[in-house]
């Protein structure tokens, strides 16, 4: 790594730390003004996730889905494609996983589980791939097409979960429970943390090497920096509207499948709500670096766990916790977006 690159990384890291510090300061000010027991609320907001093994494990477990969706967005953004359909893709992955596992109740876990996750990846890749294909063939805006497809898919999955797939023995809006052999191994009881966190981290590292060390990854990055230059260099830029979107959708579908097999063991209505949008913020914080997605996802999971701990142990309300989270998300993602747009400006000039 050359000296200039080191300086850029350090400057970026310094800016991110400063932004997070300002965001946390605003959270503290909000709690001081709106809470009758601010010391307790502040303590549990920042330290609460580490006070019990249950809290810590669930925080780590929540980061798993964020790693997958963050990777999906990072791959798309790095290639200068845009996927706003992560919500629908993850939700579709969850329901397809559930349907496959419920249809194979006696299959060995490794066989049925693999088939279900392949199905989840496939449906996510297909849904996102539509947007990539439309862009490649007709120049359709990916932001609009991916969002609209996702909105339609969410309604379809809601119908399936509350209609044909609904479990009449359960008072919740949910499907039946998947068989025991398909439930991922828990590694930090009594929390829900399961073995998939190891796979998520390994996939993030593998994605980094794919983007940095393979021919496809190089061409995707080149198209992300300057598509016109890539075209004149002989790269088939059209297919790099489709391939990054399909990969992005596959990661989102995998997030939904893992949520079913590792945490919920069924597909509830809205089971992946917020996962796709939070994945965008995770990717922005990570500056679209697949390895940096890991700490970014842990950071977002920590914020949510801290808000929940503060609500449980103090007078902090749900609304105040969400305001505090939103403030942090806004400042951190704004800082990340500024860095991206500043980089684009330097490239074009």
Question: What DSSP assignment string belongs to 198-242?
Answer: HHHHHHHHHHHHHHHHSHHHHHHHHHHH-HHHHHHTT--TTHHHH
pLDDT band at 311 (very low <50, low <70, confident <90, very high): confident
Written as one string, the DSSP assignment of 271-299 is TTTTHHHHHHHHHHHTTT-TTTHHHHHHH
Q: What is the pLDDT of residue 51?
A: 92
Question: What is the per-residue pLDDT across 80-118, written as a single tens digit (0 to 9) for each?
Answer: 899 999 999 999 999 999 999 999 999 999 999 999 999
Alpha-carbon distance of 260 to 239, in angstroms, equals 32
Averaged over 179-204, what is the pLDDT? 94
Question: What is the per-residue pLDDT across 113-171, written as a single tens digit (0 to 9) for each?
Answer: 999 999 999 999 999 999 999 999 998 999 999 999 999 999 999 999 999 999 999 88
Averaged over 311-338, what is the pLDDT? 72
Averaged over 8-28, what is the pLDDT? 76
Residues 22, 331: contact at Cβ < 8 Å?
yes
Residue bearing tokens 């359909």: 85
Token representation of residue 71: 């990777």
| C-alpha closest to that of 26 among 320, 261, 343 | 320
Taking the model in full, what pTM does it have?
0.91
* Segment among 69-73, 216-220, 331-335 with least mean pLDDT: 331-335
Averaged over 194-219, what is the pLDDT? 95
Residue 268 β-bridge partners:
174
Alpha-carbon distance of 85 to 2, in angstroms, equals 37
Q: For residue 277, what are the domain limits?
A: 3-348
Q: How many residues does the chain have?
A: 349
Could you check whether the bond before residue 178 is cis, i.e. omega within 30 degrees of 0?
no
Instruction: Supply the mean pLDDT for the chain.
Output: 88
| C-alpha closest to that of 297 among 72, 87, 70, 75 | 70
Token representation of residue 252: 């989102």
What CATH code is carried by the domain that includes residue 42? 1.10.3470
Which own/partner contact pairs does 9-16 have at CB distance under 8 Å and 24+ positions apart?
A: 12/287, 12/339, 15/335, 15/339, 16/285, 16/332, 16/335, 16/336
* For residue 346, pLDDT beyond 60: no
* For residue 70, pLDDT beyond 90: yes
* Segment among 54-68, 170-184, 255-269, 302-316 with least mean pLDDT: 302-316
Domain count, the chain: 1
* For residue 344, pLDDT beyond 70: no
CA distances, 290 to each of 75, 154, 175, 201, 348 (Å): 8, 27, 33, 10, 24
Q: What is the pLDDT of residue 347?
A: 46
Token representation of residue 289: 């670096």
Q: What is the pLDDT of residue 189?
A: 87
* For residue 320, pLDDT beyond 90: no
């Amino acid at each position: 790594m050359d000296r200039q690159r080191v300086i850029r990384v350090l400057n970026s890291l310094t800016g991110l730390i400063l932004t997070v510090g300002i965001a946390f300061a605003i959270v503290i000010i909000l709690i001081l003004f709106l809470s009758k027991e601010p010391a307790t609320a502040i303590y549990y907001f920042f330290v609460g996730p580490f006070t019990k093994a249950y809290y810590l494990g669930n925080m780590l477990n929540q980061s798993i889905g964020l790693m997958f969706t963050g990777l999906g967005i990072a791959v798309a953004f790095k290639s200068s494609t845009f996927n706003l359909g992560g919500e629908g893709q993850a939700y579709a992955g969850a329901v397809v996983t559930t349907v496959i596992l419920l249809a194979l109740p006696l299959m060995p876990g490794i066989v049925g589980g693999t088939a279900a996750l392949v199905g989840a990846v496939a449906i996510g890749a297909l849904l996102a791939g539509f947007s990539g294909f439309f862009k490649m063939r007709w120049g359709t805006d990916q932001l609009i097409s991916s969002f609209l497809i996702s909105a339609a898919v969410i309604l379809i999955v809601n119908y399936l979960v509350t209609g044909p797939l609904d479990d009449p023995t359960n008072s919740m809006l949910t499907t039946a429970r998947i068989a025991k052999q398909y439930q991922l191994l828990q590694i930090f009881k009594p929390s829900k943390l399961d073995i998939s966190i190891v796979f998520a981290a390994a996939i993030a590292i593998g994605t980094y090497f794919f983007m940095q060390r393979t021919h496809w990854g190089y061409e995707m990055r080149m198209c992300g920096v300057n598509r016109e230059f890539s075209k004149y260099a002989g790269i088939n830029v059209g297919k790099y509207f489709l391939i990054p979107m399909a990969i992005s959708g596959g990661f989102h579908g995998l997030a939904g499948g893992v949520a079913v097999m590792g945490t919920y063991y069924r597909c509830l209505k809205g089971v992946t709500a917020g996962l796709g949008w939070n994945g965008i913020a995770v990717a922005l914080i990570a500056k679209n670096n697949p390895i940096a997605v890991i700490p970014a996802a842990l950071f977002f999971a920590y914020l949510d766990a801290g808000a929940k701990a503060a609500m449980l142990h103090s007078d902090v309300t749900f609304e105040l916790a969400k305001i505090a989270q939103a403030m942090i998300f806004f400042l951190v993602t704004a800082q990340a977006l500024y860095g991206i747009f500043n980089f684009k400006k330097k490239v074009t000039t």
